[in-house]
């Protein structure tokens, strides 16, 4: 009766054209916040609902979603901590007198990172207030296409009506359901950044996603024993030659890899250590080792459990559980969804932010521009960073044919590696181009220092239709790693040595 009452009310409101809000956004992550703030700036009356369910281990955080709290921000800061450790080692070669032994304080790092994250939580609250967006710390669910029910932690219910409803609830890490002890004794990326004590010797299970390698990388970089267990391949969906360079560097860097292995069970020993048993597919034998921490990085699941999608008949993917959306972010019913919860969309914060802002403009009647999901750049913040934009070499071959593409490539040595006597065997770049005509660039891939900074500018060039000729016409900035991209002149097809020589 409660629901029917409000369903009827929403139909009446629809008929007379009056709602509580112009827009209600369910989800206070980067995308949802961007959409709500943009809509408010366009004169819309907006409310955003956000409620963080604690992780299985009880980890909680504030407003801002995955990126701010348990993703991009803390990950990049801990990656920076690891890079500083390497820089300290390099510094000795550059004449710095550094007393031994050098050690890392996890608690100090974690506190500093967590304090920064909390400042961002507060900043988001202030921004919503300044832009007159109503923030409701509630679980949101759909009653109908114009009605949302919000429920507080204490169970108090609130009904909101809106002309438009947008879902931007993102996803959460998954635990394997078929491995005894996985949930009881393991953690995920929802927990690692909020640990007050060092995780110690860590097994990271999974390498298909970037988060697995990134976490293993910074754990190694701050001096911990880290092993990555890989069932199939690393960095699924990325260029596999580049993925191999990333993992090769990590192995040289000190990260261990258990290739072609499947975990079977996790048991807690009387000492408190975690004994992990796995099957080595190379030998078909069971193996065991003990760890202080087991970090599961085996994928993410969309946050749809309490949304009430089935009541409205919202179409979802049978494989992923994500909402099926059209190019304008509309679903199978008159509501909208974007970001990680939408099927086929890149799980990237800047993509969700851009898509959310564009959607706000369309819903406010200010624009018809759609999000362009092609040539979206990204970077994997592993010890040797990997930045890319456009097609992988494999995808370019599938779409255009191996004989109709040209791949220019180079192995180079960053100047800062020379005095430090660091191995640069995996510092590599390649530019995948169409084989004829103006040789339009289809994809660009780069491993090396500051890969994200290098890749961002070239991403702009791809948006502008850059060709290989444009690279040749560009003057480089010397001495930089980025200039190696515009100097690249050896093709894979030629079979010539692609090692850069000279300064």
Question: What residues are annotated to the active site?
Answer: 478
Backbone dihedral angles phi then psi of residue 240, each to the nearest 5 degrees: -75, -25
Instruction: For residue 454, give the DSSP letter.
Output: H
Residue 151 three-state SS? strand
Residue 327 three-state SS? coil
Other Cβ atoms less than 10 A from the Cβ of 408: the count is 24
Query: Whole-angstrom Cα distance, residue 276 to residue 425?
Result: 33
Which tokens sit at 378?
A: 């990204």
Q: CB-based burial of residue 177 (10 Å sphere; 0-12 exposed, 13-18 middle, 19+ buried)?
A: exposed
For the sheet with 285-291, list strands across it.
Answer: 261-268, 274-280, 285-291
Query: Whole-angstrom Cα distance, residue 165 to residue 456?
Result: 33
Farthest-apart Cα atoms in the chain, separation: 79
Backbone dihedral angles phi then psi of residue 21, each to the nearest 5 degrees: -140, 155
Distance in Å from the first CA to the final CA of the chain: 77
Give whole-number Cα distances, 237 to 127, 317, 391, 393, in Å: 36, 19, 10, 11
Query: Whole-angstrom Cα distance, residue 359 to residue 31?
Result: 10
Other Cβ atoms less than 10 A from the Cβ of 479: the count is 11
Residue (of 201, 76, 18, 5) closest to 451 by Cα position: 76
Query: Whole-angstrom Cα distance, residue 221 to residue 51?
Result: 34
């Amino acid at each position: 009766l409660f629901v029917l009452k409000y369903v009827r009310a929403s139909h009446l409101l629809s008929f007379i054209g009056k709602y509580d809000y112009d827009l209600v956004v369910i989800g206070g992550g980067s995308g949802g916040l961007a959409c709500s703030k943009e809509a408010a700036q366009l004169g819309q009356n907006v409310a955003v609902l956000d409620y963080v369910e604690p992780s299985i281990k009880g980890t909680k955080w504030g407003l801002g979603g995955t990126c701010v709290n348990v993703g991009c921000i803390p990950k990049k800061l801990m990656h920076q901590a690891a890079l500083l450790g390497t820089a300290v080692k390099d510094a000795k070669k550059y004449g710095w007198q550094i007393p031994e032994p050098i050690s890392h304080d996890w608690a100090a790092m974690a506190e500093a990172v967590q304090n920064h994250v909390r400042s961002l939580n507060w900043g988001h609250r202030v921004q919503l207030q300044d832009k007159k967006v109503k923030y409701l710390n509630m679980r949101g669910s759909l009653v109908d296409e114009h009605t949302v029910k919000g429920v507080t932690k204490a169970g108090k219910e609130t009904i909101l009506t809106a002309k438009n409803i947008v879902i931007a609830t993102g996803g959460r890490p998954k635990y394997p359901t078929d491995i005894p002890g996985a949930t009881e004794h393991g953690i995920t990326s929802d927990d690692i950044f909020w640990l007050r004590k060092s995780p110690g010797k860590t097994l990271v299970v999974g390498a298909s996603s970037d988060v697995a390698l990134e976490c293993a990388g910074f754990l190694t970089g701050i001096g911990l024993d880290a092993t990555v267990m890989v069932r199939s391949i690393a960095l699924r969906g990325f260029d596999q030659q580049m993925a191999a360079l990333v993992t090769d560097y990590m192995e040289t860097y000190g990260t261990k890899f258990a290739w072609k292995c499947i975990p079977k069970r996790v048991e807690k020993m009387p000492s408190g250590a975690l004994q992990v048993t796995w099957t080595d597919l190379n030998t078909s034998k069971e193996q065991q080792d003990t760890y202080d921490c087991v970090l599961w990085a085996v994928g993410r699941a969309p946050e749809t459990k309490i949304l009430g999608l089935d009541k409205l008949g919202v179409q979802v993917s049978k494989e992923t559980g994500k909402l099926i959306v059209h190019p304008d972010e509309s679903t199978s019913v008159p509501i909208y969804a974007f970001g990680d919860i939408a099927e086929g969309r890149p799980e990237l914060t800047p993509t969700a932010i851009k898509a959310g802002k564009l959607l706000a403009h369309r819903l406010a009647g200010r624009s018809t521009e759609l999000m362009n999901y092609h040539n979206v750049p990204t970077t994997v913040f592993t010890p040797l960073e990997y930045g890319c934009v456009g097609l992988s070499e494999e995808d370019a071959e599938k779409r255009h044919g191996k004989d109709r593409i040209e791949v220019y490539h180079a192995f180079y040595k960053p100047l800062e590696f020379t005095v430090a006597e660091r191995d640069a065997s995996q510092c590599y770049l390649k530019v995948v181009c169409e084989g004829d005509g103006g040789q339009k660039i289809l994809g660009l891939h780069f491993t090396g220092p500051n890969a994200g900074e290098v890749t961002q500018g070239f991403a702009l060039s791809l948006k502008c239709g850059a060709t290989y000729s444009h690279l040749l016409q560009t003057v480089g900035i010397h001495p930089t790693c980025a200039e190696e991209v515009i100097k690249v002149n050896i093709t894979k097809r030629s079979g010539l040595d692609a090692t850069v020589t000279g300064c």
